[in-house]
Structure 1
Amino acid sequence: MRVSSSRPPLWFWIGISCVWVFALAFRFWGLERFNTLVFDEVYFAKFGHNYLTQTEFFDAHPPLGKYIIALGIALKGFNTWGFRWMNALIGATIPLILSGIAYQLCKRPSYALITAVLASLDGLLLVESRYALLNVHILFFGLLAHWSVLISLNHQGHQRNGWLAAAGASFGATIAVKWNGLGFLLGLYLLWLVAKAGQAWFGSSDSPKRRLPIQRLSELSWLQLFVYLPGIALFIYSIFWIPHLAQNPDFNLWQVHKEIFGYHRQVGGDEVHPYCSAWYTWPLLLKPISYFYQVTQSTLEPLPVTGPPLPQNAVKWIYSVYAIGNPLLWWASTIAILALLVWGGWQIWHSIAQRHQEDHDAANLSGEQVWLPCYIGVNYLANFLPWVGVSRCTFLYHYMPASMFTSLALAWYIDGWLRASDRWMRQLAMALLLLSLVSFIICLPIFLGLPISPMIWRILRVRG
């Protein structure tokens, strides 16, 4: 397979610009319409403000996400716009970063653009980007780290080390938002082990210029991957704690980690929060999270955010925000990642079988058909399977890092179908894109909190 080294064409840049404008528009429109703290904003927005007022507090997560919220408050004030706009801006860039990863995986602009389109239609990512929450920051820095690693594999010497340093800093930043950012780093290490094993067992018939960036992972040394990169990550992670510890001197760095770990061990199960959900429900979108719910008798009334609820028989309009994925896109992405895992496993098994038969040409593990599914599948499992052993209350948004790789999987299939000679496959790809957009539009009322009737609300929401 020939790997293109040229830059993306003009149509790609026009398309990606349109995606960014689309993402920005839906994240910033009506950002301050709910003049109240929504869901965990009661913690994170206040914690961000505490940094500006030098108020002592305990937080169950590392501090970086609240620093970013504090920056937004410092620039725009402690109001709904002030503590939300930084999240909206960062959330709008995530489809672009995911597109950059897609391009680095196979150097195909069409695949990168489709990935960005699908990410921009992700309802859960949209909702999380519109409030002062932490999950978009995990995605931003974790995906940025992977993008930097993939770019580094196109270079040698000091340039490669420079990009690896950027990746290390991004890994440190994602862990400094929440500890589950470690899944992105775990995915990189597992991929490196797979690349090393593949090189030792099968070798490669591709010349260095024809190899995909992900195939070059085995070129990274033990020193680069296990000393240089994590050393930078640990340094950046530690630096982010300095302002927090200076303001909250009751605990040192070791003690505050013990306190955080103890807190998460004590977080209970379903009886603690009505929207707790088990890990196996996430790929099927069985239990979304209600972030806001209020009722009113007229759309002309001021949007109610305080006071007792109206009698149910008086309800005419409902304002509701659900942290829920775009249903059709979500389920299609789940099918895509399962199909990709099966396909990748079969490819590896087939190559091993050929190896045992000493058919070295057939056994060569090279090219996009093996390495791209390997990259997506390993990263998906690294960000998803660790939750299997977690006993504390978990939520749908804990699946978001893994869901980024399901988008890459679905985009890979759609891009392949669009380039296929079979007309039915091309039509299927176009139908999936169109229906994903339709599903997004239908669900906009519960993504953005638009006024809807009780009947429409019952149709759109997904019961947990």
Structure 2
Amino acid sequence: MSALFLRFYQLGDINKPVFDEVYFPNFAYHYIQQESFFHSHPPLAKYVMMAGMHIYHMLPWVNEPTLGSVPFNELNPVSYRWVNALLGFLSCCLFALSAYRLKKSHLFSLLVFAFVSFDGALLVASRFGLSNVHILFWGALSLYLTLLTLQKNNGYLPLLLGCSLAAVISVKWSGLSYWAITMAVLVIVVLLKSIRFKFKRFTHNNWPTIDKKGLKILSAITLVPAILYYLIWIPDLQLNTKYDFTETHRQFFTYHKNRVSEDAHPYCSKWYSWPLMQRPISYHFEKIPATDNQPRCFKNVHSFGNPVLYWMASLAMLTMLIMTIKQIAYMVKNKTFNSNQFTLLFITGGYLASWLPWSLVSRCTFLYHYQSASVFSFIALAWLLTTLLQGSKTHKYAAYTCLVILICAFVYWLPFQLGLPLSVDGFYQRMWFKSWI
């Protein structure tokens, strides 16, 4: 429950839009006011925020002006933040469920839930009206449905998987990474089955083969996302009539390619710096004057990942990548495929598919673009610590030491995520590097 509590704690304390809240929930409010606008991402996250505003104003204990009758800046920010807080918590649950499907280990699943729940950047993403957490939610659902589709003989699962993939792509185009992960996993399994690799130590036997079931799954994850993606655009295009579907996408592409330069924002960061969390993003900064009872304080909200978690997870991911390469060589030589190898391929493939495409982007990018990849690195760390905890006493002590350090780091930097006032000295003590400020 602490993961849920932290996402809803003082959700409206900062009573104004911060960072990109001037865009995403504001555009959602335009839908309510029936005012046309230009935006640069698909509309699904804005639809969900619009629904959140409607639900919030329907609550019996809410006494707010009629929705749509006041300017956006006068809205209670809880009205467009609470949905993200809920989706952030549900994302943690879905990633944990996917971990359990991978390894059938309660410990592994618990560690994944803990790391995703208490990472600072993911916590901040859940507490503000931005679109990043929507990618995580639909992406997590897609991963879970991918594993269920492989492991269960249920004709509805491929259709549900196609719907979830359509949803994640309809938040941002970067959601295509989840489609690539799903497609790669299914194609690899089908390919290995077709060339008669021996599948060993799999809990479930209903893995798709190169038959009607396999073709149905592949069709569902190509046709269903394409059709639903188009349908999701219909309400937006009925309001924003300046461009049709095709021209809207051309305008989007032009905007991202030409109008957002490489150094357009003070918090731009390079893709290769993200695993080290070199440049977090300040969402809100406020100076609180000194009083008779309290010295001068800073109230600050950073999209600030737990640095120790990022560093440990990056090392774990590097370790897993080396192991995966070795296992691929072993698979090819012996023509066998086991559940441990599948887990390695799933995690490393998901990480690389979510991270490496950003190396091709020349526009300004931010640390939050790494969030999907960071989750896979957290899963890699959970996998490594689970292995250590099941080993010798020395391995267990090493794992427990890592967990204690991670907990202490989470508590130490928590004021940056919740916007808790810090003394000036306390603020600068937590800014270990100039690039963090």
TM-score by length of 1: 0.85
Q: Where do residues 171-250 of structure 1 align in structure 2 (5 Å cutoff)?
A: 171-199=165-193, 203-204=197-198, 206=200, 210-212=201-203, 216=207, 223-250=215-242
Aligned to 1:17: none
Contact 2:286 2:300 in 1 (8 A): yes
Contact 2:199 2:338 in 1 (8 A): no
Whether 1:114 aligns to 2:111 is: yes
Whether 1:297 aligns to 2:289 is: yes
Shift of 1:171: 0.3
Shift of 1:404: 1.2
Shift of 1:405: 0.7
Whole-angstrom distance in 2 between the partners of 1:384 and 1:214: 32
Aligned to 1:62: 42
Shift of 1:178: 0.3
Shift of 1:459: 2.2
Shift of 1:351: 4.0
Task: From 70, 95, 99, give the equivalent of 2:96.
Answer: 99
Contact 1:61 1:178 in 2 (8 A): yes
Specify the code of the residue in structure 2 equivalent to 1:460. Answer: R
Contact 2:152 2:204 in 1 (8 A): no
Whole-angstrom distance in 2 between the partners of 1:268 and 1:178: 16
Specify the code of the residue in structure 2 equivalent to 1:167. Answer: L
Aligned to 1:448: 418
Whether 1:256 aligns to 2:236 is: no
Task: From 43, 51, 59, give the equivalent of 2:31.
Answer: 51
Q: Where do residues 52-451 of structure 1 align in structure 2 (5 Å cutoff)?
A: 52-77=32-57, 78-156=75-153, 159=154, 161-199=155-193, 203-204=197-198, 206=200, 210-212=201-203, 216=207, 223-298=215-290, 316-352=296-332, 355=333, 363-420=334-391, 422-451=392-421
Q: Where do residues 22-41 of structure 1 align in structure 2 (5 Å cutoff)?
A: 22-41=2-21
Specify the code of the residue in structure 2 equivalent to 1:25. Answer: F
Specify the code of the residue in structure 2 equivalent to 1:118. Answer: F
Contact 1:443 1:460 in 2 (8 A): yes
Q: Secondary structure at 1:291's aligned position in 2?
A: strand
Aligned to 2:67: none
Q: Secondary structure at 1:153's aligned position in 2?
A: helix
Which stretch of the first structure deviates more once superposed, 228-237 or 364-373?
364-373
Distance change >3 Å, CA 351–CA 129, structure 1 → 2: same
Which consecutive unaligned segments of at least 5 residues does structure 1 have?
1-20, 302-313, 356-362
Contact 2:389 2:395 in 1 (8 A): yes
Aligned length: 416
TM-score by length of 2: 0.90
Contact 1:215 1:371 in 2 (8 A): no
Specify the code of the residue in structure 1 equivalent to 2:207. Answer: R
Distance change >3 Å, CA 193–CA 232, structure 1 → 2: closer
Shift of 1:419: 1.3
Shift of 1:463: 3.3
Which stretch of the first structure deviates more once superposed, 132-141 or 248-257?
248-257
Which stretch of the first structure deviates more once superposed, 436-445 or 147-156?
147-156
Whole-angstrom distance in 1 between the partners of 2:203 and 2:434: 44
Contact 2:28 2:47 in 1 (8 A): yes
Contact 1:105 1:213 in 2 (8 A): no
Shift of 1:349: 1.9
Whole-angstrom distance in 1 between the partners of 2:422 and 2:167: 39
Specify the code of the residue in structure 2 equivalent to 1:405. Answer: F
Shift of 1:300: 9.4
Contact 1:287 1:463 in 2 (8 A): no
Which consecutive unaligned segments of at least 5 residues does structure 2 have?
58-74
Distance change >3 Å, CA 249–CA 214, structure 1 → 2: farther
Contact 2:8 2:85 in 1 (8 A): yes
Specify the code of the residue in structure 2 equivalent to 1:195. Answer: V
Distance change >3 Å, CA 86–CA 30, structure 1 → 2: same
Specify the code of the residue in structure 2 equivalent to 1:124. Answer: A
Q: Secondary structure at 1:216's aligned position in 2?
A: coil
